Amino acid sequence: MCFVIILLAIIAAIGLRHDCSLKNRLIIILIPFLDSVLSHFVLQWLGLGPLTVFVGSAMFGILSLLGVQALLSPRRLLVFKLAWQQIRRRQRQAALLMAGLMIGSAIISSSLIVGDSLDETVRKEVEAAWGSTDIVISGYDSTIGQVVEIPSSIVDELRELDVDGVDSIQAGRITTASVETSEGVAEPNVPWFALEHQEDALIGSSSNGLTWFELEEARRFSNQSIVVINRALSDELDVDEGDEIELGWFVRSDLGIERTKQSFLIHDVVSMANQGQLAGTTSPAIFTDLQSAQTLQQSGQNVTTIRLSVKGIEETRNGYSPLIEQLELALNQTIDAEDSGLQFLADDGSDSFTIASSQGLGRIPASLVRSIKQNQSNLMEDSSLLEVLQVPLISLKANGSELLTLADGDVNHVISEEDAIWHWGSGGFGYERDDNESWVWRVPSGSIITDVSIDNEYGFASYDEGLILGNSSDEDSTLRLLKDRDMVAVELH
90-119, pLDDT tens digit by residue? 888 878 888 888 888 777 766 665 555 667
Give the pLDDT band (50/70/90) at residue 332.
Answer: confident
Task: Assign residue 330 a region (left: φ > 0; alpha: ψ between -120 and 50; beta: otherwise).
Answer: alpha
The percent of residues above 90 in pLDDT, for the chain, comes to 20
- Of 32-41, 148-157, 234-243, 407-416, the least confident: 407-416
CA distance 29 to 68: 9
Considering the chain, what is the average pLDDT of its residues? 82
Residue 18 has pLDDT above 60, yes or no: yes
Strands (E), 148-255: 150-151, 166-181, 186-195, 202-204, 209-211, 226-230, 244-253
Cα 447 from Cα 354, distance rounded (Å):
37
DSSP H/E element including 138 = strand 135-138
d(CA 240, CA 238): 7
309 and 168 Cβ atoms separated by less than 8 Å: yes
Contacts 24+ apart (CB under 8 A), 244-249: 244/182, 245/179, 245/180, 245/181, 245/182, 246/179, 246/180, 246/181, 247/177, 247/178, 247/179, 247/192, 247/286, 248/177, 248/178, 248/180, 249/175, 249/176, 249/177, 249/178, 249/192, 249/296, 249/297
Average pLDDT of the residues in 352-357: 80
Q: Count CB atoms within 10 A of the CB of residue 65.
A: 22
Q: Please give the pLDDT value at position 190.
A: 93
- In terms of C-beta density within 10 A (0-12 exposed, 13-18 middle, 19 or more buried), how is residue 308 classed? buried
Q: What local confidence, expressed as pLDDT, does residue 114 receive?
A: 59
**pLDDT tops 60 at residue 402:** no
Average pLDDT over residues 288-313: 91
Highest mean pLDDT, choosing among 72-81, 189-198, 324-333, 464-473: 189-198
Q: Does pLDDT of 489 surpass 70?
A: no
Looking at the predicted structure, is the pLDDT value of residue 338 above 60?
Answer: yes
Residue 127 banded pLDDT, cuts 50, 70, 90: confident
**Start-to-end CA span in the chain (Å):** 101
Residue 13 — φ and ψ, nearest 5°?
-65, -40
Hey, CA dihedral for 483, 489, 492, 493, is it positive or negative?
A: negative
Q: Does residue 120 or residue 368 have the better pLDDT? A: 368
Q: How many CA atoms lie within 13 A of 407 on its CB side?
A: 26
Q: Is 35 exposed, middle or buried (0-12, 13-18, 19+ CB in 10 A)?
A: buried
Among 134-143, 170-179, 438-447, which range has the highest average pLDDT? Answer: 170-179
**276: pLDDT strictly greater than 80:** yes
* Residue 267 clears pLDDT 90, i.e. is over it: yes
pLDDT digits (tens, 9 = 90+) for 167-219: 889 999 999 999 999 888 899 999 999 999 988 889 998 888 899 999 999 99
Query: Is residue 399 scored above 60 in pLDDT?
Result: no
Question: Angle at the Cα of 73 (from 71 to 79), degrees rounded to 5?
Answer: 90
What does the DSSP assignment read for 321-361? HHHHHHHHHHHHHH--TTTTTEEEEE-TTSS-EEEEE-STT
More confident residue, 380 or 488: 380
Write down the domain spans for the chain: 2-89, 135-329, 342-379, 395-481
Q: How many C-beta atoms lie closer than 10 Å to residue 185's C-beta? A: 13
Are 212 and 196 within 8 A, CB to CB?
Answer: yes
Q: Are 358 and 341 in contact (CB under 8 A)?
A: yes
Say what the pLDDT of residue 177 is.
92
Per-residue confidence at 286, pLDDT binned at 50, 70, 90? Answer: very high
pLDDT at 110: 67
406: three-class secondary structure by DSSP? coil
Would the pLDDT of 369 be above 90? no
Q: Are strands 286-287 and 186-195 parallel, antiparallel or unpaired?
A: parallel
CATH of the structural domain 395-481, one choice from 1.20.120, 1.10.10, 2.40.128, 2.40.10: 2.40.10
Place 367 in a pLDDT band, splitting at 50, 70 and 90.
confident
Banded pLDDT at 288 (limits 50, 70, 90) = very high
Average pLDDT value for residue range 142-162:
84
Distance of CA 52 to the CA centre of its chain: 37
pLDDT tens profile 7-16: 777 887 777 7
- At 118, which helix (H) or strand (E)? helix 91-130
pTM beyond cutoff 0.85: no
Of the chain, the percentage scoring pLDDT greater than 70 comes to 88
**Is pLDDT above 90 for 270?**
yes
Mean pLDDT value of segment 360-369: 77
- Distance from C-alpha of 342 to C-alpha of 395, rounded to nearest angstrom: 29
Does the pLDDT at position 401 exceed 60? no
pLDDT at 230 exceeding the cut of 90: yes
More confident residue, 221 or 62: 221
